[in-house]
Structure 1
């Protein structure tokens, strides 16, 4: 069984509104101690007998009652959230993971601990998260993509497979950037079309019943039907289905705003304003000549305004906040390894996909990134990049520049070069500071293929230990969603590299 520690707070980046970064921690079952699955009641009972040991834990739980959660769900999975100090560092008085009684946390049956992999997700620096489907559901509001991401389990599948193979893994979320208003509006339109399409396809059985009802009871209920849809032509049923799908999409979006207002950072005042606006829309639609048409349009406009407002607030963030998050994750991982002894502090790996591959390679090449949190590249045993972006100049083309390059890296070509691992490696004076690398690319990922080979050659010229692998019959997405560990697969190479 894989032991999953959910939503652990590890960094609060100063000056960034969305800087509260989190990770999900996946541990092999053999690392799970008997007493680590504590609920609040268990902590109270243990405190009665070992008051000194758990006194500091209870103080943190009481002081951060609205920011922490220690519980066990129905599957026996330990949940923890935000048991850290305000500046994003571990509280040295709190041993939040090693809760077994009487054993030294520096030893684990004579073992120095298992390897520890920090996985940084992809998404073009602007999308995704440790559970990618949540981002596409709550922020992009794209029901179709959210469903597909949930179905394949991106990116939790990485943590689960590694933990099943006796490797600890933390899947990290970092601050996301945002494009300008024009690009954002186009993306919102595409997301809405995909959401409505998903709802339409999912509701086909219901629409089939509607069509049957319309056919059988056409004459007796025609007046009622026309009163609602104001239609009386051969395409009325199809138009009704499209309108209903759009209306259901709008209602679902409104419910998401209400149920997840904390994730959207929406105040109750904004919720009240939205509720009043929806009420006014209902009145206007009811008194109009075509109620459903007007209701769909009004609710669509209200929802898209809310989505636009929430997303445009992220505009202005850059990759610098993202590499800081990676550095904070390394610091957290070192602290976790040293304090618990469950993972080997000398076998810490950075791993990333796509944009995450760019961030991990950049963090390993630029000494100042890890130095900002009192760490160094010597703390890394290796770096694994899967379909990573190594030369940002490849994005300086047409719409790619406006969608990915400028929103995250600005408009200065010099800054693009400074943030490109391929160019940064060429300026590196010594290879002694670099960990070993595993670079993987997809066979059908033509856009990133050439730069992957060039970056591998650059590392080879610097005499950096580097293994370069092309995964056959793969593309940019299934290279990381495929959970197979058979020979030649993505994760088989990862396991060989780490172990």
Structure 2
């Protein structure tokens, strides 16, 4: 259900008596229409039945909007979102190497794009990237966390990713199974019954067929997951019917052989192994078939999606009055940091095809990727560069914020670039983690170029952190407010906001 989904209630009590109102799944497609509630009265309706005016094959053109909302005097949840014309707003773009991720990051790993239960479990715990929207809204800054269309791997790298995801998922689920089995063994010991008799394990050699059977059960769990989340897997009724028929037939065949009571170890190996392989083929084969049908997106299409989301948020704020759309900031992590930086530079460039009247007051890039040719490594190239930016070095340079600065309007010499062109760029805050590979040096070089052209740019390193924990712990407590990422971002926004 779309509209007002929840009022943020978990975690510690927010400061200043503020809570967070969440608007889920707002469509920001390029129709130019704001199909979200635009009046205070509509927002007050708890039975809002909005539907999208346009249906996309995926929900990669949607966003979740986190809005500061004052608590009632009795501490209860607010039933309406007050108009706050002075509230700034941030459009946040997630990371993931341009081909992974979502506004709710864990959902990517339980979808047609990838199935990795271990990663999904971890991201669900950290609530990425909703934690960023919540943290900013608690501080009085509205935040739109967006999804955008992703690129995809080519063969055989797609098979490699599917293999690693399957191994990680299987290991994770087998570990859970082992823990539960250990608990069952402990209980059986306490109760005085034999677990070995119950599971018919007479020797170490019986573990292997049981492992094959466990993997077959995991494959059936895949089928159940794909059925429950059929919209994210883009499965039709015919797809599900075929998948379940093949799975049930495999199970019946296994039961028939198992019911014969064969105790021969070789037969156990064979029956359980065949069951595992058959269920593996049905599940992974269907996943591969559906993944091959997914359209890949270039970085230009991703930039267009971010541009559309900014346009939507601007119109939404102007029509609803829930925040000041003239105080709009871009923020992104990793690949998202690259996209928001490149978008801001292209908008400021008079010679760019992407020139608009969008009023971006500032850009915050967290562990952004600014020099794409540095990803030209044996492994990184087919995983990140080729799927999104093509195989030509000239295309990589064109999409690199560091090189955009030195090639503006066709001038290769940085000193020949007209300073007035780049003074229109919004202020930049480039944030890096303490352990961030070459991204720290890249951020320093980009900052120097922006400053040399008369722009406003500052650097900040968050300690202790790495490329991932910097967003996982976005609002983690810190003894030093200057190194708490939430505080750093909010101070930057308030410093450049209109008084």
Q: TM-score normalised by the shorter chain: which range applies?
A: 0.7 to 0.9
Task: Give me the whole-angstrom Cα distance separating, in 1, the residues matched to 2:43 and 2:423.
Answer: 39
**Residue number in structure 1 paired with 2:488:** 493
Q: Which runs of 5+ in 1 are unaligned?
A: 15-21, 26-30, 41-69, 72-79, 87-96, 98-107, 226-230
Moved more, 280-289 or 483-492: 280-289
Task: Give me the whole-angstrom Cα distance separating, in 1, the residues matched to 2:279 and 2:470.
Answer: 39
- CA gap of 1:221–1:363, structure 2 versus 1, over 3 A, is closer
Which of 306, 329, 339 in structure 1 is aligned with 2:286?
A: 306
**Residue number in structure 2 paired with 1:266:** 235
* TM-score (normalised: structure 1): 0.77
Which of 361, 366, 371 in structure 1 is aligned with 2:346?
A: 366
TM superposition shift of 1:210: 5.9
Task: Give me the whole-angstrom Cα distance separating, in 1, the residues matched to 2:87 and 2:195.
Answer: 69
- CA gap of 1:375–1:248, structure 2 versus 1, over 3 A, is farther
Q: Which runs of 5+ in 2 are unaligned?
A: 1-18, 57-66, 68-81, 258-266, 409-416, 495-499
The residue matched to 1:300 in structure 2 has which SS? helix
Task: Give me the whole-angstrom Cα distance separating, in 1, the residues matched to 2:466 and 2:223.
Answer: 35
Task: Give me the whole-angstrom Cα distance separating, in 2, the residues matched to 1:241 and 1:452.
Answer: 52
Q: 2:96 aligned with 1:113, yes or no?
A: no
Task: Give me the whole-angstrom Cα distance separating, in 1, the residues matched to 2:240 and 2:455.
Answer: 55
**Residue number in structure 2 paired with 1:181:** 155
Correspondence list, 1:413-424, <5 A: 413-424=393-404
Q: CA RMSD in A?
A: 3.2
Correspondence list, 1:90-239, <5 A: 112-138=85-111, 139-208=113-182, 211=185, 216-217=193-194, 225=200, 233-236=203-206, 238-239=207-208
CA contact (8 A) 1:439 1:468 kept: yes
Which of 448, 461, 467 in structure 1 is aligned with 2:458?
A: 467
The residue matched to 1:366 in structure 2 has which SS? helix
- CA gap of 1:210–1:112, structure 2 versus 1, over 3 A, is closer
CA contact (8 A) 1:116 1:343 kept: yes
- CA gap of 1:461–1:273, structure 2 versus 1, over 3 A, is same
Correspondence list, 1:255-294, <5 A: 255-288=224-257, 289-290=267-268, 291-294=271-274
TM superposition shift of 1:83: 5.2
CA contact (8 A) 2:94 2:332 kept: yes
- CA gap of 1:330–1:480, structure 2 versus 1, over 3 A, is same
The residue matched to 1:344 in structure 2 has which SS? coil
CA contact (8 A) 1:144 1:195 kept: yes
**Residue number in structure 2 paired with 1:62:** none
CA contact (8 A) 1:392 1:417 kept: yes
Deviations 1:285-340 (A, max 9, x none): 34554343322221112111122222222354211111110000111011012112
Moved more, 441-450 or 115-124: 441-450
- CA gap of 1:422–1:218, structure 2 versus 1, over 3 A, is closer
**Residue number in structure 1 paired with 2:71:** none
Task: Give me the whole-angstrom Cα distance separating, in 2, the residues matched to 1:307 and 1:34.
Answer: 44
Task: Give me the whole-angstrom Cα distance separating, in 2, the residues matched to 1:321 and 1:266.
Answer: 25
Task: Give me the whole-angstrom Cα distance separating, in 1, the residues matched to 2:55 and 2:344.
Answer: 26
The residue matched to 2:109 in structure 1 has which SS? helix
Deviations 1:110-141 (A, max 9, x none): x6331010000000011110000111122321
Task: Give me the whole-angstrom Cα distance separating, in 2, the residues matched to 1:182 and 1:343.
Answer: 47
TM superposition shift of 1:199: 1.1
- CA gap of 1:425–1:209, structure 2 versus 1, over 3 A, is same
TM superposition shift of 1:392: 0.5
Q: 2:422 aligned with 1:431, yes or no?
A: yes
Task: Give me the whole-angstrom Cα distance separating, in 1, the residues matched to 2:197 and 2:403.
Answer: 74
CA contact (8 A) 1:257 1:264 kept: yes
- CA gap of 1:35–1:416, structure 2 versus 1, over 3 A, is closer
CA contact (8 A) 1:129 1:174 kept: yes
Correspondence list, 1:17-28, <5 A: none
The number of aligned residues is 420
TM superposition shift of 1:284: 3.7
The residue matched to 2:363 in structure 1 has which SS? strand
Task: Give me the whole-angstrom Cα distance separating, in 1, the residues matched to 2:486 and 2:244.
Answer: 48
**Residue number in structure 1 paired with 2:45:** 38
Which of 423, 426, 439 in structure 2 is aligned with 1:448?
A: 439
Which of 7, 18, 25 in structure 2 is aligned with 1:7?
A: 25
- CA gap of 1:8–1:119, structure 2 versus 1, over 3 A, is same
Deviations 1:431-490 (A, max 9, x none): 133111010001111232221111111111111100111112110011111113633121
CA contact (8 A) 2:220 2:247 kept: no
TM superposition shift of 1:373: 8.2
